[in-house]
Chain A
Amino acid sequence: MFDDSLRSILSTGQGNTIEFDLPGPNGVRHFVADATPEFDENGRVASVLTSSHDVTDAKRAEEGLRAMNDELRRANEDLNQFAYSASHDLQEPLRMVAVYSQLLARKYAGKLDEQADEYISYTIAGAHRMEILVRDLLAYTKAVSISDLPKEGVDANAVLQNVIANLRGAIEDSAAELVYGELPCVKVHDIHLVQLLQNIISNATKYRRPERPRIVIGAAGDGECWRFSVSDNGVGIPAKYTEQVFGLFQRLYSAAEFPGTGIGLALCRRIVERYGGKIWVESEVGRGSTFYFTLPA
């Protein structure tokens, strides 16, 4: 090994690095040796200076870190798979509870006593809420199941039109005014951009004040990214909660005030971070919020 290294230095005049193992009293030790040529006045290699370092500990630490990373990645994949399967398999029994509680209400409402009617109505409401939770949880776990990066960019203008069509009911019910200009193309899967814009715009129609909602959607160049913004004139978010709202199952209001599952913004964060972007909100209570997120250009 040393002969090869020396031969190479003599023929090329360039230094090199070799790694080798030596037996020690407590097992094999790993070394790295740097060989540097020294030249005479004619530019020929006169001698070679070699220095060796024992890198056993660093190497063991690196291997340990890699093993831990692999284990963490596997655990994460298992967890995602579990969450997906759990929410997927929950749908069938849930459908039975939902449909049969409705059938019970249809056939027996008013025929039992008042308390029985109340019990049935809570069963129906609970099943309905569970259905929305399971649906959102599935969307959340699905968001990370697409592991490849898109080859083509997606036109955010077309995606926004889809989102507006999907949210037609909520936009009409709230009489929201949507303001937007030309949007860019971004390198993300279109389903992810749909989920992002849909969740944020849907929130803007939901968390509104008595006045007519005004939602402004825009994008600006930000280095190698585009920074999207969605502003509303809604209820706003208290400063101490602007980070918390992006957590899974985090809600600021009771279901009676504003229904929801606390998954929407967590899903948005998960999508944005998948592409190496950031998401944040600037808000003033009683004035409105602006959500920002960055995506690769």
Chain B
Amino acid sequence: MMHDLNSGTLQIFLVEDNPGDMLLVREALAEHGLIFELEVASNGERAIEYIDALDGDDTRPCPKIMLLDLNLPRKSGEEVLKRLTVSSRCSGVPTIVITSSEDPHDHQMAERLGVSHYFRKPTDLNAFMALGELVRSLLEKSTASGN
């Protein structure tokens, strides 16, 4: 189904355990004019339960994009990504990893598991706000391709 970014509310799924970063993500999305509803899971286990629930209920709407931290309590971001790749309904959802990790292994793992973009959490506010632009452009791309 085609989706116009400027009409209606976007469903966005955020997996993040740091309340400070949750708020920054909201700021970044709002700054780029996105109207969104944010579903937040504060640990990896809840994120996997959310994907399980979506797979088990066709009537629930899938998120348009997923934003995922890697270093999470209970289940890691890597485990969430692995679950996502075998999801019957969410495997095609564009995913942005949002992390402080500089470890090249994390970057390679994210690429291997089909992540659309690897966003390093910056200390500069403008650089963090650019996340909103990144989300917007990924959504536009995904809308154009009819996903």
Chain B residue at minimal CB-CB distance from A101: B125
Instruction: Give chain A residues whose Cβ lies under 8 Å from the Cβ of B117.
Output: none
CB-CB under 8 A for A131 and B123, given A92-B100, A95-B100, A103-B27? yes
Could you say which of B18, B20, B121, B124 contacts A102, with CB atoms under 8 Å apart?
B124
Chain B residue at minimal CB-CB distance from A100: B20
Chain B residue at minimal CB-CB distance from A91: B100
Binary interface profile of A, 60-104, with partner B (CB < 8 Å = 1, else 0)?
Answer: 000000000000000000000000000000011011101110110
A53 located at the interface, meaning its Cβ lies under 8 Å from any Cβ of chain B in the complex: no
Tell me the interface secondary structure of chain B in the complex: loop
Query: By the criterion CB–CB under 8 Å, are B24 and A99 in contact?
Result: yes
Q: How distant is the Cα of A92 from the Cα of B20 in the complex, in angstroms? A: 11
Number of A residues near B (Cβ < 8 Å) is 14
Instruction: Give chain A residues whose Cβ lies under 8 Å from the Cβ of B125.
Output: 99, 102-103, 106
Q: How distant is the Cα of A112 from the Cα of B9 in the complex, in angstroms? A: 34
Tell me the interface secondary structure of chain A in the complex: helix
Binary interface profile of A, 140-162, with partner B (CB < 8 Å = 1, else 0)?
Answer: 00000000000000000000000
B118 located at the interface, meaning its Cβ lies under 8 Å from any Cβ of chain A in the complex: no
Number of B residues near A (Cβ < 8 Å) is 11
Instruction: Give chain B residues whose Cβ lies under 8 Å from the Cβ of A102.
Output: 124-125
Instruction: Give chain B residues whose Cβ lies under 8 Å from the Cβ of A103.
Output: 24, 27, 125
Chain B residue at minimal CB-CB distance from A96: B20
B36 located at the interface, meaning its Cβ lies under 8 Å from any Cβ of chain A in the complex: no
Q: Which has the most chain A C-beta neighbours within 10 Å: B121, B123, B124, B128?
A: B123
Binary interface profile of B, 61-99, with partner A (CB < 8 Å = 1, else 0)?
Answer: 000000000000000000000000000000000000000
B144 CB to closest chain A CB, in angstroms? 32
A130 CB to closest chain B CB, in angstroms? 10
Instruction: Give chain A residues whose Cβ lies under 8 Å from the Cβ of B20.
Output: 96, 99-100
Instruction: Give chain B residues whose Cβ lies under 8 Å from the Cβ of A94.
Output: 123
Q: How distant is the Cα of A96 from the Cα of B20 in the complex, in angstroms? A: 7
Q: How distant is the Cα of A86 from the Cα of B14 in the complex, in angstroms? A: 29
Q: Which has the most chain B C-beta neighbours within 10 Å: A92, A95, A100, A127?
A: A95
Q: How distant is the Cα of A128 from the Cα of B124 in the complex, in angstroms? A: 9
Q: How distant is the Cα of A128 from the Cα of B122 in the complex, in angstroms? A: 12
B31 CB to closest chain A CB, in angstroms? 10
Binary interface profile of A, 99-120, with partner B (CB < 8 Å = 1, else 0)?
Answer: 1101100100000000000000
Q: How distant is the Cα of A94 from the Cα of B121 in the complex, in angstroms? A: 12
Query: By the criterion CB–CB under 8 Å, are B27 and A98 in contact?
Result: no
Chain A residue at minimal CB-CB distance from B121: A95
Instruction: Give chain B residues whose Cβ lies under 8 Å from the Cβ of A99.
Output: 20, 24, 122-125, 128
Instruction: Give chain B residues whose Cβ lies under 8 Å from the Cβ of A106.
Output: 125
Q: How distant is the Cα of A106 from the Cα of B125 in the complex, in angstroms? A: 9
B32 CB to closest chain A CB, in angstroms? 15
Q: How distant is the Cα of A131 from the Cα of B121 in the complex, in angstroms? A: 14
Which residues of B from 9 to 42 have beta carbons under 8 Å from A? 18, 20, 24, 27
Query: By the criterion CB–CB under 8 Å, are A95 and B27 in contact?
Result: no
Binary interface profile of B, 108-139, with partner A (CB < 8 Å = 1, else 0)?
Answer: 00000000000001111100100000000000
A97 CB to closest chain B CB, in angstroms? 9
Instruction: Give chain A residues whose Cβ lies under 8 Å from the Cβ of B123.
Output: 94-95, 98-99, 127-128, 131
A200 CB to closest chain B CB, in angstroms? 25
Chain A residue at minimal CB-CB distance from B20: A96
Q: How distant is the Cα of A117 from the Cα of B18 in the complex, in angstroms? A: 27
B66 CB to closest chain A CB, in angstroms? 22
Q: How distant is the Cα of A131 from the Cα of B122 in the complex, in angstroms? A: 11
Q: How distant is the Cα of A199 from the Cα of B125 in the complex, in angstroms? A: 27
Instruction: Give chain A residues whose Cβ lies under 8 Å from the Cβ of B18.
Output: 96
B3 CB to closest chain A CB, in angstroms? 30
Could you name 19 residue pairs across A and B whose Cβ atoms are closer than 8 Å?
Answer: A91-B100, A92-B100, A94-B123, A95-B123, A96-B18, A96-B20, A98-B123, A99-B20, A99-B122, A99-B123, A99-B124, A99-B125, A100-B20, A102-B125, A103-B24, A103-B27, A106-B125, A128-B123, A131-B123
Binding site for A on B (CB under 8 A): 18, 20, 24, 27, 100, 121-125, 128
